[in-house]
Structure 1
Amino acid sequence: MKLTFLGTGTSSGVPMIGCSCPVCRSLDYRDKRLRAAVHLAAGGRSVVVDTGPDFRQQMLRANITQLDAILFTHAHKDHTAGLDDVRAFNFRQQQEMPVFAEPRVVEQLRVEFAYVFAEHKYPGVPQVALHPIERDDAPFDVLGLAVQPLRALHHKLPVLGFRVGGLAYLTDANKLPPSTLEQMRGADVVVLNALRHEPHLSHFNLREALEILEELAPRAAYLTHISHQLGRHREVEATLPPWIRLGYDGLTVEVQD
């Protein structure tokens, strides 16, 4: 399986509008972070987790010309706002885009993209087939791929991560129940959010993320959903164990099943 980090930034991205801190002014390409999303190439399938506001730019930058399905972690705009741009794949592939999300997220998509699901559609709107994820305690099928939901809390909001083969991907979380830790255990690669150094209401900070990764002890781990408050990529990464790296936009990783 090949994992591509399409975006590794928090909801405001890095650089953040109007900010002149050293991270936002950095010339290091690894400090330029679009909103968090990943692409999975597995089992002959092309799958994206989340379509934030930068979705179009991410697809172009990664040269992704085929997309078979979309998974949503939750309904916040920095993870859903780019859904309209699946139109390009509808046109190329001449079929609806399968979208997998929890029922509450499905309903939010119906509200925010009402024109997509209207009875009488405007010509050219995205063609989307919604597939509710009804259970978080058992895998579901995504065009032949077995996907295990990973339950987490984003402050008080229940959100999902996903385990696909040897990959466990979880962003926008600050609490994991024991059952989720067990579902993540044994993964070859774990991706986890680490917003900044200071504690945060709804995200793991760096210390919290490292504690979880050290308990899980995968072969390799990557941090994502990073804000400008964490610091410059090269300086922060130098403090990490060699098997834990900061993700960055465009990074590709081979994951063992």
Structure 2
Amino acid sequence: MVVFNMRERVNVWADQATCDALLDRFGYVFIQPEGSSYPPILNLNLLDGTVTITGAGGAITFTPFGVEHGRINALGFRIRDLVYLPDVSAMNAAAWSVVSGADCWVLDALRRDPHPTHSHLEQSLEWIEKSGVPNAVLTNMHIDLDYETVLAETPDHIEPAFDGMVIEYAD
């Protein structure tokens, strides 16, 4: 619907492996197949290093970094003093260096028990403490993690995410 209302393609960004997979599986949304009357609706942009995107809200510069998401690789993002990492099971030294010095970390915490592709609550809390990040938001929580319970169990500088949550930073 967004593409229809805007009457232009929507830009998307991905690393090379994801670009290849998207083109292989969903090439028709990027390139009009021969003989098709359906136009492509997305522009695929390679995400290779720090990127600045300018939109209605102004320019946003973000730096992608790799982490493990089970048996596959995933990307986290550093946006100014905020780190966004919703899908992670393990972090390497390079990822830790990106988190270092951040003011806020939005971090995966799927459930209480360990999971093969996501960080669990105890691990996420340990990572937050290890990082020294002064503020953290737990995201990607499964239905067995109750907001009020997690809020009561965690330190004041750690908050469970909720639908519609807004994190603001002054320029």
TM-score, reference length from structure 1: 0.59
Report the alpha carbon displacement of residue 240 of structure 1 after superposing the two structures with TM.
0.4
Within the alignment, does 1:139 sit opposite 2:50 as a pair? yes
Q: RMSD value over aligned CA atoms? A: 2.0
Q: What are the equivalent positions in structure 2 for 1:1-257 lying under 5 Å apart?
A: 88-116=1-29, 117-120=31-34, 122-123=36-37, 125-134=39-48, 138-143=49-54, 144-230=59-145, 232-256=146-170
Tell me which of the two structures has the higher relative contact order, counting C-alpha pairs closer than 8 angstroms and 6 or more residues apart: 1
**C-alpha distance in structure 1 between counterparts of 2:62 and 2:34, whole Å:** 33
**C-alpha distance in structure 2 between counterparts of 1:180 and 1:200, whole Å:** 20
Aligned to 1:195, what secondary structure does the other structure show?
coil
**C-alpha distance in structure 1 between counterparts of 2:40 and 2:15, whole Å:** 20
Structure with higher Rg: it is 2
**C-alpha distance in structure 2 between counterparts of 1:213 and 1:219, whole Å:** 9
Report the alpha carbon displacement of residue 227 of structure 1 after superposing the two structures with TM.
1.1
Report the alpha carbon displacement of residue 256 of structure 1 after superposing the two structures with TM.
4.8
What are the superposed Cα offsets for residues 72-123 of structure 1, whole Å, 9 maximum, x if unpaired?
xxxxxxxxxxxxxxxx222333322111001111122223323322333744
Do the aligned residues in 2 keep the contact of 1:190 with 1:222 (CA within 8 Å)? yes
Aligned to 2:153, what secondary structure does the other structure show?
coil
Aligned to 2:118, what secondary structure does the other structure show?
coil
Which amino acid is 1:233 matched to?
A: Y
Percent identity reads 28
**C-alpha distance in structure 1 between counterparts of 2:158 and 2:22, whole Å:** 34
Q: How many residues align?
A: 166
Aligned to 1:146, what secondary structure does the other structure show?
strand
**C-alpha distance in structure 2 between counterparts of 1:125 and 1:226, whole Å:** 37
Report the alpha carbon displacement of residue 198 of structure 1 after superposing the two structures with TM.
1.1
Structure 1: 5+ residue stretches without partners:
1-87
